[in-house]
């Protein structure tokens, strides 16, 4: 966020997001390293179409959203 913060002229407040949970609704979520490490970053996954229980992204465009 250091570069994005400057681009959007955001003021640094000292908040780090610790203890915050965010939900994403999209077509998929592959457990890429940025999302899966450290362990536990993907707290839950729900596939309303295929019923799969493990994170995946068969459309190959949902993972970049987070």
Mean pLDDT of 37-49: 84
Quick check: is 13 in a domain? no
Quick check: is 11 in a domain? no
Quick check: is 4 in a domain? no
| Owning domain of residue 32 | 21-66
Quick check: is 47 in a domain? yes
Q: pLDDT digit string (tens) for 13-42?
A: 777 777 888 887 777 887 777 777 788 788
Peptide bond preceding 38: is omega within 30 degrees of 0, i.e. cis? yes
pLDDT at 61: 64
Greater confidence (30 vs 1) lies with: 30
pLDDT at 64: 61
The pTM score is 0.53
Into how many domains does the chain fold? Answer: 1
């Amino acid at each position: 966020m250091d570069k994005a913060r400057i681009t959007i002229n955001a003021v640094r407040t000292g908040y780090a997001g610790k203890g915050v949970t965010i939900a994403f609704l999209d077509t998929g979520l592959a457990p890429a390293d940025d999302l899966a490490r450290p362990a536990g970053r993907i707290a839950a996954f729900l596939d309303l179409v295929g019923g799969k229980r493990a994170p995946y992204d068969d459309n190959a465009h949902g993972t970049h959203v987070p």
